[in-house]
Chains A and B, each alone.
Chain A
Amino acid sequence: MVTGKSDRVFNGFVYAILIAVALMSIFPLLYVVSMSLTPYSEVVKNGGFVVIPRSLSFEAYERIFADPALGRSMLVTVFVTVVGTIVNLLLTTIAAYPLSRRNLKGRTFFLLFIVVTMLFNGGLIPTYLIVQSLGLLNTVWSLIVPGAIATFNVLVMKSFFENLPEELFESAKIDGAKEFRILWQIVLPLSVPSVMTVGLFYMVGHWNSFFSAVLYITDSDLHPLQVVIRNMLLLSQSSELQAEVTVPTAAMQMAAVIAGSLPIIAVYPFIQKHFTKGMLLGAIKG
């Protein structure tokens, strides 16, 4: 081919940028890991953290886990993530399933009822007042109940259910199955990819969430992980203003950052496929 040479140049250019993007995505995390593992003595000797530490120390991790707040907050976060995701999935499914049935009377009205909330909402303060008047302030339920349903996920699941063949429901009904049974034994087993996608979105959301805790929880015993990490980071940020952040603090902060993201990073390679598939599904539907 005539274009052979310029093609090779072009390919080389593409590969170079893609590799640069990959490095850019992963390098910051690697550097944070190496900061958290660099022994104090080495930092003093070299005048700062190095990108690849010559020796390793888990001192920073030992020190942050010696703080009872971190362990306790992990318990809170694990509880909220597990229970919250179950509640999310349950409610999302039982909302999406009836809405996916085209012959449901009043379907348009119910759909409008939930979609309107995406366009207009009462805002921060009125929502806070509702949560307060329900007595949810300073309970773990304030991290679960107010965000129990995400309308976007209901719509994703609904459109997935809609694509199941209508005959499936007919034949199940002829066999005498009731709606709950159809949902549980026929629809859900066929919808594993979509349920997984939505479930994982909810899960990551719970693990990463901090703002609802900032809003609704003042009792520090109930703070979830991200809030505790934030406090650890802010502590130094205020001392940073006086320009005297010490090296062990920096290592401990990075250890906290790793502790707070490790579960996500650990499961990420396995869930990535599903996320992408689920997203593309939603994207193509537009």
Chain B
Amino acid sequence: MASGTKAGRKLAGIWQMKALYLMLLPCLVWYFIFKYLPMYGVIISFKDYNFTDGILNSPWADPWYKYFQQFFESPYFSQLLSNTLLISLYKLVFGMFPSIVLAILFHECRISWLKRWVQTLSYMPHFLSWIIIYGISIAFLSETTGLINRWITEAGGGSIPFMNSTEWFRTVLVSTEIWKDLGWGAIIYLAAISAIDPTLYEAARVDGASRLRMIWHVTLPGIRNVITLLLILKIGNIMDAGFEQIFVFYNPRVYEVGDIIDTWVYRTGLEQMSFSLATTVGLFKSAIGFVLIIGANKLAKRWGGSIW
């Protein structure tokens, strides 16, 4: 063995670890096929894709930006973009706050069995599928048999088509999401709160601070970093407005307010077979998402660095 030379030693080192590389191989192949080949497949945005010719042999679009132009000039461009951003933003604003409050309440709870039980129960909806939650929503919101509408009509009001009306659709989306992830979202804040130095609370108590003041002056500053970090990361993912949920909940009546980029890509691509156009829109979304995530990570690092 040429163990004298530098390259030789390197090779010998790799040979020693051959078992590790062998282990890694199937996973790398999987990543290549299911992650990298689709990235390559994105070129059909620039081609007139058709089934018979496949990705490689389909003719190039003329001009190459044909599908981008088609997308940017179409009326659904602004509709999709604003629906995606608005739904994401609502979920961000109305979703984060309740979880933070819940985490603080868990921390303030002095009866440990109560705390444990409420935690167990409030994490549970997170593990239900959106289909199941859709079913539960029907039980409550259906126009004919829903519990809430029965209460409304019993009180003398007219029933409201929560699931099928453009006015209510986003509210339904946001509130079901809050219901699903309220407790689960609190976990990370609770972890951050339990990492706060207990002597800070002692000192505050000695100074005569009330419980509310302690929350304000100790707990909240103690988890400020985590809140900032999560906020930034969520902004990085703002182009994902919750595809599965919307896919399950929506119907043609509410496309106007509920159709996001992902759902539209599915319908246009796989139901109407416009592969190239759908891929273009998907690419547009990925590109913006990519920039946002990179930016978010940069910001998180900078903020984190200056605070910690």
Which residues on A are within 8 Å of B, measured CB to CB? 2-3, 6-7, 10-11, 14-15, 17-19, 21-22, 24-26, 28-29, 31-32, 35, 48-49, 91, 94-95, 97-99, 101, 103-105, 110, 113-114, 117, 119-130, 133-134, 145-146, 148-149, 154, 178-180, 183, 204, 207-211, 214-215, 226, 229-230, 233, 236-237, 240-241, 243-245, 247, 250, 253-254, 256-257, 260-261, 264-265, 268-269, 272, 275-276, 279-280, 283-284, 286
Is residue B110 contacting chain A, with contact meaning CB distance below 8 A?
yes
Beta-carbon nearest neighbor of B102 in chain A:
A21
CB–CB A122/B38 < 8 A: yes
Write out the residue numbers on chain B whose beta carbons fall within 8 Å of the beta carbon of A127: 34, 38, 41
CB–CB A31/B187 < 8 A: no
Q: State the main secondary structure of chain A at its contact with B.
A: helix
Beta-carbon nearest neighbor of B13 in chain A:
A105
Report the bound CA distance from A180 to B164 in whole Å: 56
Write out the residue numbers on chain A whose beta carbons fall within 8 Å of the beta carbon of B102: 21
CB–CB A243/B144 < 8 A: yes
Contact flags B9-35 to A (C-beta < 8 A → 1, else 0): 010011001011101101110110111
Write out the residue numbers on chain A whose beta carbons fall within 8 Å of the beta carbon of B270: 124-125, 128, 215
Is residue B247 contacting chain A, with contact meaning CB distance below 8 A?
yes
CB–CB B269/A124 < 8 A: yes
- Contact flag A261-B132 (CB < 8 Å), given A104-B20, A233-B138: yes
Write out the residue numbers on chain A whose beta carbons fall within 8 Å of the beta carbon of B158: none
CB–CB A126/B39 < 8 A: yes
Is residue B266 contacting chain A, with contact meaning CB distance below 8 A?
yes
- Contact flag A91-B26 (CB < 8 Å), given A28-B136, A127-B34, A260-B129: yes
CB–CB A208/B129 < 8 A: yes
Write out the residue numbers on chain B whose beta carbons fall within 8 Å of the beta carbon of A29: 136
Is residue B92 contacting chain A, with contact meaning CB distance below 8 A?
no
CB–CB B27/A28 < 8 A: no
Q: How many A-B residue pairs have CB under 8 A?
A: 279
Closest A-B pairs by Cβ, 7 of them = A122-B38, A126-B41, A123-B282, A208-B129, A257-B135, A179-B19, A95-B27
Report the bound CA distance from A6 to B40 in whole Å: 64
Write out the residue numbers on chain A whose beta carbons fall within 8 Å of the beta carbon of B111: 15
CB–CB B123/A208 < 8 A: no
From B73-81, B83-91, B113-121, give the one contacting chain A.
B113-121
Report the bound CA distance from A2 to B294 in whole Å: 52
Beyond contacts A105-B14, A241-B164: 5 other A-B pairs, Cβ-Cβ < 8 A, are: A11-B110, A21-B118, A124-B265, A204-B127, A211-B247
Write out the residue numbers on chain B whose beta carbons fall within 8 Å of the beta carbon of A207: 129
- Contact flag A272-B120 (CB < 8 Å), given A49-B147, A233-B134: yes
- B163 CB to closest chain A CB (Å) equals 7
Task: Identify which of A26, A120, A269 gathers the most chain B CB atoms within 10 Å of its CB.
Answer: A120
Beta-carbon nearest neighbor of A132 in chain B:
B51
Report the bound CA distance from A48 to B279 in whole Å: 47
- A275 CB to closest chain B CB (Å) equals 7
Write out the residue numbers on chain A whose beta carbons fall within 8 Å of the beta carbon of B293: 119
Is residue B71 contacting chain A, with contact meaning CB distance below 8 A?
no
Write out the residue numbers on chain B whose beta carbons fall within 8 Å of the beta carbon of A243: 143-144
Is residue B290 contacting chain A, with contact meaning CB distance below 8 A?
yes
5 intermolecular pairs with C-beta atoms under 8 Å apart: A26-B121, A130-B37, A237-B138, A243-B143, A257-B139
Beta-carbon nearest neighbor of B192 in chain A:
A283
Contact of B105 among A18, A126, A280 (CB under 8 A): A18
CB–CB B118/A18 < 8 A: yes
Report the bound CA distance from A121 to B229 in whole Å: 24
Is residue B203 contacting chain A, with contact meaning CB distance below 8 A?
no
